[in-house]
C-alpha cells in the first residue's frame, strides 16, 4: 500500500505519524517497552493532542528480534493468529546508553536511537538494514487535521514500516509467486486468491521475505499485508496493515539457508511424507469422462509399459455433479467403490481422492450443515452462499469444533473404505462479509481459513494412518501450512511459459519455509505438445513430488506418443533409484526446514550469478537440475564454481560459467557437485523400499584427505546408516556404521 506520491509529497488526504523520540521506557523480563511520541517534546505543552506509539522489543529465540508497535492499546485484538512456537520468556539482552538502546539476541543487534528516533539492525558489526524518519508510522487516510474522527479513531488507520535495501541487495519469497523471482520493484499483496499461475495473485501468500544479505522478515499478521519491495521508495521494503497494530520478527541467518531454518523454527517444520508419496501419481484429470474400467485401463497401461505408478488420484467427478462436496461416490460409474479400491490396492498402489471445503446446496451435507450451524454465516444469520464454482455453495466453519469434527467424520468413512489420502483443493476465495462461530475477524480468516482446513484433514490422516503416513495434496496455504505437506502449484497452462512460471513460483515457496512441492506435469489447462509433455515429465520427476494431472484431457504418456512412454518410464525409474538420497533430503526438510528443491541462491549465496537464477535448482545438497524450456532441445544452464559431474555420462565440467548444448528427451542437465557422496538405490520399480539394505555409493570429486559424511535413512526417516568417505590418492576409505 502506498502512502507517498514521490519522495516529497504524501498521497492526498494522507497524514503520517512517525516516532520522533523515545520518551518513557521500561525494561522488564528482557523486554524493552517505550512511549514514542510522533512530535518532538520541547515542553509540557507538546504532550497535548498528539499521537503516541507504544513500542515493545523482545526476542523469542537467539537471532530473532520481535518489534510490536501499537497506536491505541484499547483496541481489542481479535484472532485468529498464526500458530507460532513462542517461549514464555524473551531472551533479549538490553543495554542503555545516553543516546541509544542496544538490544541483542545472539549476534543480531537492534540499535534504537533516543532522539531523533531511528532503528538499525546489525549482525555483529555488519550493517543489515535500518529505519529512519517516517519509516515506522501510524498512517491516517481521509485526514482532516484533527486528532479525532466522528467515525471512530480506528477508521482509515494503517500501520507501516520500511526497512532499507542496500546496493545490490535482492529480496525473495513472499509465498508461491509467479512474478519475477527477485521481488525488488514489485508490489505484493498477501491475499489468497484463485488466479492460476500466470498473474500477480497467488494461492499461497506468505508474509515473509528473505534477503540476499542473509536475514528475513515475518509480518505476524494473518490479514492482508501489503509489501512495497522497492516499488514506492526504491531503497525500502515497506510493509503495512490496516488497523492499530504492527507486529513483525526480523530473523538473522546469517545465510539465506539458515534464515529459512530459523523461520521454520518459529512457524513449524514440514512433516515428513512417507516414501510411497515420492513415487509417480496419476490423475483421472478434471472434466474427463471415466469409470472403473477407465481407471483400471490407465493403471494397467502404466504397469504393462513398465512405468512404476505408485498413487492413483480420483479428481472431482468421483462425486456426482452439483454435489461437491458430498464425499459420496457416484454410484452411476462407481457401483462398488470399496471393491474397486481394494482392486487398486492389490496392484500395489495407494489412492487419493479430491475434496474441498465448499458444500454445494445440492449436496446431502448442505441441509445437515445448515441446520447444525456448521456453515459460515452472513451477519444477518443466513448461511453465506454464492454461485461461483458450485451452485449455491457454502463454506464449512472450521472455527466451530463440532463442524471440524463433522467434516473429519465424513472423511473418515472414506479412509475406512480404503482411501489413503486427500487432495485438499481450493480454500482461497474466502469472503470477508461473514460471521464465524468463534467470532474470528473475517479479514484475518480470509488467508487463515486454509490453515484450519488443511490442519483438520491432516490431523485426521495422522490419527487414522499414523504420523508417518499422512499426506495431503494441497493448493492453498498461509504461514504454518508447510506442516501439512504436500503442496502443488495450481492451475497452469500447458506450454513452456507456464512450466517456467511453475518453477519460479515453487522456488519462491521454498524460500518461504515449504519443504515439499509439486506441479501438474504437462500442464493443467488445454493439452501440451508431446515436446512440452516430455520436457515437463523430466522436470516433474526430479521434483520432490510428481503428479500427472490435467483438466480436459488425460495425462497418460501414450496419449502423446511412444517416446513419451519411454521418457516417463526412464525418469520414474531414475527417481526410484535416487530415493536413498532424496529421502535423506526429505529428512533434512523435516528436521531442519531446508527444502528439498533449493533455489541456487540458497546453496551458493557467495556466487552473484546465482542471485537471479530461477530456471534451475539444487535437488538437495548435491544434485543440480536444469529443466529445458524450449522446443529446440537446447539445454541452457549455469554451473557455479567447482568441478561438476554429469550424472548420466560421468563427463566433468568446470563451474563458474554458462553452458549451452543439445539434449535428447531421455536426458536433462543433472549435475553432481564436487565433494559429494550419493547413495543410489539398487531398486527402480518403486520408491518405497529398504534404502539402508538396497544401496550403492557413488563418489564425485572427493577432495584428498577431506572426509565426506552422509546418512542413509530407513523408511521411517531414521538415520539407519552413517557413511563417511575419505579419499587417499586413488583409494577410498569407506566407513559404514549402522
The rounded Cα 535 to chain-centroid distance in angstroms is: 24
> Tell me, what's the pLDDT at 142?
87
Rounded CA separation 382/397 (Å)? 13
- pLDDT above 80 for 150: no
SS3 69: strand
Which one of the listed residues 15, 63, 397, 425 is annotated catalytic?
A: 425
Residue 73 is placed in which grid cell?
492499546
pLDDT at 207: 98
Residue 425: pLDDT over 90: yes
In this model, does residue 629 exceed pLDDT 90?
A: yes
Indicate the SS3 state at residue 63. coil
**Active-site residue 562, yes or no?**
no
Instruction: Reply yes or no on whether the pLDDT at 657 is more than 80.
Output: yes
Residue 245 has pLDDT above 70, yes or no: yes
Say whether pLDDT at 114 is over 90. Answer: yes
Note the pLDDT tens digit of each residue in 525-555.
999 999 999 999 999 999 999 999 999 999 9
Of these residues, 428, 614, 684, 692, which one is catalytic? 428
Choice among 135, 247, 491, 614 that is catalytic: 491
| Domains of the chain, earliest start first | 4-74+89-213+215-252 (2.60.40.1760), 275-357+399-429+441-592 (3.20.20.80)
Assess whether pLDDT exceeds 90 at residue 151.
no
Question: What pLDDT sits at residue 284?
Answer: 96
- Relative to beta strand 421-424, strand 350-355 is parallel
3-state DSSP percent of the chain in helix, strand and coil, to 5: 25, 30, 45
Give me 261's grid cell: 531454518
- Mean pLDDT to the nearest integer, 39-64: 94
pLDDT (tens digit, 9 = 90+) per residue, 164-219? 999 999 999 999 999 999 999 999 999 999 999 999 999 999 999 999 999 999 99
pLDDT of 148: 65
Report the candidate in 468, 471, 487 with the shortest Cα–Cα distance to residue 415: 471
Residue 153 in this model has a pLDDT that exceeds 80: no
pLDDT in tens, 463-493: 999 999 999 999 999 999 999 999 999 999 9
Helices in 329-473 by DSSP H: which ranges? 337-345, 364-371, 401-417, 442-465
Strand order in the sheet with 25-28: 25-28, 31-37, 52-61, 64-70, 245-252, 215-219, 205-211, 171-175
Binning pLDDT at 50, 70 and 90, where does residue 65 land? Answer: very high
Q: Which of 131-135, 299-303, 366-370, 683-687 has the lowest mean pLDDT?
A: 131-135
List, for residues 6-15, the tens digit of each pLDDT value.
888 888 889 9
- pLDDT band, very low/low/confident/very high, at 149 (cuts 50, 70, 90): low
The grid coordinates of residue 60 equal 523469542
Give the model's pLDDT for residue 416. 98
Is 730 catalytic? The answer is no
**Tens of pLDDT, residues 582-617:** 999 999 999 999 999 999 999 999 999 999 999 999
Is 88 known to be catalytic? no
Amino acid at each position: 500500500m502506498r502512502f507517498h506520491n514521490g519522495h516529497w509529497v504524501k498521497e492526498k488526504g494522507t497524514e503520517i505519524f512517525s516516532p520522533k523520540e523515545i520518551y518513557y521506557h521500561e525494561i522488564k523480563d528482557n523486554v524493552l517497552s517505550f512511549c514514542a511520541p510522533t512530535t518532538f517534546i520541547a515542553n509540557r505543552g507538546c504532550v497535548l493532542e498528539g499521537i503516541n506509539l507504544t513500542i515493545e522489543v523482545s526476542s523469542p529465540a537467539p537471532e530473532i528480534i520481535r518489534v510490536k508497535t501499537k497506536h491505541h492499546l484499547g483496541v481489542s485484538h481479535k484472532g485468529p493468529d498464526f500458530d507460532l512456537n513462542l517461549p514464555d520468556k524473551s531472551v533479549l539482552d538490553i543495554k542503555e546508553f545516553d543516546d541509544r538502546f542496544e538490544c541483542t539476541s545472539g549476534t543480531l543487534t537492534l540499535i534504537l536511537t533516543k532522539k531523533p528516533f531511528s532503528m538499525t539492525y546489525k549482525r555483529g558489526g555488519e550493517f543489515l538494514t535500518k529505519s529512519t524518519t517516517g519509516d515506522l508510522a501510524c498512517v491516517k487516510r481521509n485526514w482532516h487535521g484533527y486528532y479525532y474522527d466522528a467515525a471512530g479513531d480506528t477508521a482509515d488507520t494503517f500501520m507501516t514500516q520500511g526497512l532499507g535495501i542496500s546496493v545490490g541487495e535482492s529480496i525473495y519469497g513472499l509465498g508461491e509467486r509467479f512474478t519475477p523471482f527477485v521481488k525488488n520493484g514489485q508490489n505484493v499483496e498477501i491475499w489468497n486468491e484463485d488466479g492460476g499461475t500466470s498473474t500477480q495473485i497467488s494461492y499461497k501468500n506468505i508474509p515473509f521475505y528473505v534477503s540476499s544479505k542473509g536475514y528475513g522478515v515475518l509480518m505476524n499478521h494473518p490479514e492482508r499485508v501489503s509489501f512495497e519491495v522497492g516499488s514506492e521508495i526504491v531503497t525500502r521494503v515497506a510493509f503495512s496493515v490496516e488497523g492499530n497494530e504492527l507486529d513483525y520478527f526480523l530473523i538473522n541467518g546469517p545465510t539465506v539457508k539458515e534464515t529459512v531454518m530459523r523461520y521454520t523454527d518459529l512457524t513449524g517444520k514440514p512433516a515428513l511424507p512417507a516414501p510411497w508419496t515420492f513415487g509417480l501419481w496419476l490423475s483421472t484429470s478434471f472434466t474427463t469422462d471415466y469409470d472403473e474400467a477407465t481407471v483400471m485401463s490407465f493403471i494397467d497401461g502404466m504397469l504393462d509399459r513398465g512405468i512404476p505408478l505408485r498413487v492413483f488420484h480420483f479428481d472431482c467427478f468421483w462425486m456426482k455433479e452439483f454435489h461437491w462436496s458430498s464425499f459420496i461416490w457416484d454410484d452411476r460409474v462407481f457401483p462398488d467403490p470399496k471393491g474397486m479400491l481394494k482392486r487398486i490396492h492389490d496392484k500395489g498402489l495407494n489412492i487419493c481422492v479430491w475434496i474441498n471445503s465448499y458444500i454445494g446446496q445440492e449436496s446431502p451435507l448442505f441441509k445437515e450443515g445448515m441446520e447444525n450451524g456448521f456453515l459460515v454465516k452472513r451477519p444477518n444469520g443466513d448461511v453465506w452462499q454464492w454461485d461461483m464454482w458450485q451452485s449455491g455453495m457454502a463454506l464449512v466453519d472450521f472455527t466451530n469444533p463440532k463442524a471440524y469434527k463433522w467434516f473429519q467424520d465424513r472423511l473418515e468413512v472414506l479412509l475406512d473404505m480404503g482411501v489413503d489420502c486427500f487432495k485438499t483443493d481450493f480454500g482461497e476465495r474466502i469472503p470477508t462479509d461473514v460471521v464465524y462461530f468463534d467470532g474470528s475477524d473475517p479479514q484475518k480468516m480470509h488467508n487463515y481459513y486454509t490453515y484450519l482446513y488443511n490442519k483438520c484433514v491432516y490431523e485426521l490422516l495422522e490419527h487414522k494412518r499414523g504420523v508417518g503416513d499422512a499426506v495431503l495434496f494441497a493448493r492453498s496455504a498461509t504461514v504454518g501450512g508447510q506442516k501439512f505437506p504436500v503442496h502443488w502449484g495450481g492451475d497452469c497452462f500447458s506450454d513452456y511459459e507456464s512450466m517456467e512460471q511453475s518453477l519460479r513460483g515453487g522456488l519462491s515457496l521454498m524460500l518461504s519455509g515449504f519443504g515439499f512441492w509439486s506441479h501438474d506435469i504437462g500442464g493443467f489447462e488445454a493439452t501440451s505438445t508431446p515436446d512440452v509433455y516430455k520436457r515437463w515429465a523430466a522436470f516433474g520427476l526430479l521434483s520432490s513430488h510428481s503428479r500427472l494431472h490435467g483438466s480436459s484431457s488425460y495425462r497418460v504418456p501414450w496419449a502423446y506418443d511412444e517416446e513419451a512412454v519411454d521418457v516417463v518410464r526412464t525418469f520414474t525409474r531414475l527417481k526410484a533409484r535416487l530415493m536413498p538420497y532424496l529421502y535423506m533430503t526429505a529428512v533434512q526438510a523435516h528436521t531442519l526446514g531446508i527444502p528439498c528443491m533449493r533455489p541456487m541462491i540458497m546453496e551458493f549465496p557467495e556466487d552473484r550469478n546465482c542471485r537471479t537464477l530461477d530456471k534451475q535448482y539444487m535437488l538437495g545438497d548435491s544434485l543440480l537440475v536444469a529443466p529445458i524450456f524450449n522446443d529446440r532441445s537446447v539445454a541452457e544452464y549455469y554451473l557455479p564454481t567447482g568441478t561438476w559431474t554429469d550424472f548420466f555420462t560421468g563427463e566433468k565440467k568446470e563451474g563458474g560459467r554458462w553452458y549451452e548444448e543439445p539434449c535428447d528427451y531421455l536426458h536433462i542437465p543433472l549435475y553432481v557437485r564436487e565433494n559429494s557422496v550419493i547413495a543410489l538405490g539398487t531398486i527402480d520399480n518403486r520408491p518405497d523400499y529398504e534404502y539402508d539394505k538396497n544401496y550403492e555409493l557413488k563418489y564425485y570429486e572427493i577432495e584428498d584427505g577431506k572426509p565426506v559424511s552422509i546418512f542413509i535413512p530407513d523408511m521411517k526417516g531414521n538415520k539407519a546408516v552413517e557413511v563417511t568417505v575419505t579419499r587417499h590418492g586413488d583409494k577410498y576409505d569407506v566407513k559404514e556404521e549402522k
